Amino acid sequence: MQIFIDGHVHLYEHYDLNVLFETALKNFARNGATENAIKILLLTELASCDFYTQLGEKMPSGFNIKKTAESTSVIVTKTGTNEDLIIIAGRQLVSSDNLEILALGTEYNIENYCLDTESLIYQVNANGGVAVLNWAPGKWFSKRGIIVNKMIFRFNPETLLIGDSTMRPTLWPTPRLMKKALKFNFKVIAGSDPLPLKNEEKYVASYGFLLQADIDTRKASESLKNLLKDQNIPVKRWGHRSGSFTFFRRQLSIMLRK
């Protein structure tokens, strides 16, 4: 079974969910997902957001939502079709070292900057999530680079993944520490990482990763977490990251917004 996954999806109040879902389905198809493939959006909501629990109330016309056998996943279906999107809950948290940790498949949440990177990774795992040390522009250098390097030796591929996103421009080669993680068999997953800017919904499912495995869609969150921890199941990245011009435009826009 082919499982296509966008591993880094944000939802923001101003997003048009109809555009987001339609674009996600188109982007999945553009990147090789057939109608029968499993398509998953892994949410990485900010600590201050909670749109996952509001999806049922915000569902646009043309799409229906169905609960699963677990609290951390739902299935969104395009009306009149067999096109499903599985949505899995999760968070993007920031350590006191100012490094991004994605907490996948869990409702665990904590205010940013409360825990150091190591403690935050432990807490994500302890609360049933899959911890991902996410690459971000400028954050894997200097003192923070030393911390990233330490995490690669402190944890193992069953307790920590590495995250890549569209915010690493195409001309930016694979970071040194990401290469080191790959050398030690850490899985590198990918995601679109849409920003809180206008029209960013179009990036959802433009970059992600593929698994070849069986999954129980009734318990997609739990099943996927087990697959991500299984070292016998490789990860293959697909799609594209931002080109240099697009990256600088997006990066400048988010910096000006702050």
Q: Where are the domains of the chain?
A: 2-257
What interhelical angle do 117-126 and 142-154 show, nearest 10? 40
pTM here is: 0.97
pLDDT at 85 over 80: yes
| pLDDT reported for residue 257 | 81
- Banded model confidence at residue 5, pLDDT cuts 50, 70, 90: very high
Q: Return the number of other C-beta atoms located less than 10 Å from residue 223's C-beta.
A: 20
Residue 247 pLDDT > 80, yes or no? Answer: yes
111: left (phi over 0), alpha (psi -120 to 50) or beta: beta
How far apart CA 134 and CA 8 sit, in angstroms, is: 9
Mean pLDDT of 155-172: 97
C-alpha to C-alpha distance for 186 and 178, rounded to whole angstroms: 9
CA–CA separation, 222 and 24 (whole Å)? 22
C-alpha span between 29 and 6 (Å, rounded): 13
Quick check: 55 pLDDT over 70?
yes
* pLDDT (mean) for 19-33: 97
Could you tell me which CATH class the domain 2-257 is placed in?
Answer: alpha beta
Residue 258 has pLDDT above 80, yes or no: no
185 phi/psi in degrees, rounded to 5: 70, 20
Do 117 and 151 touch, CB atoms closer than 8 A?
A: yes
Q: Which residues contact 14 (CB under 8 A, 6 or more apart)?
A: 196, 198
Question: Is residue 157 predicted with pLDDT exceeding 70?
Answer: yes
pLDDT higher than threshold 90 for residue 10? yes
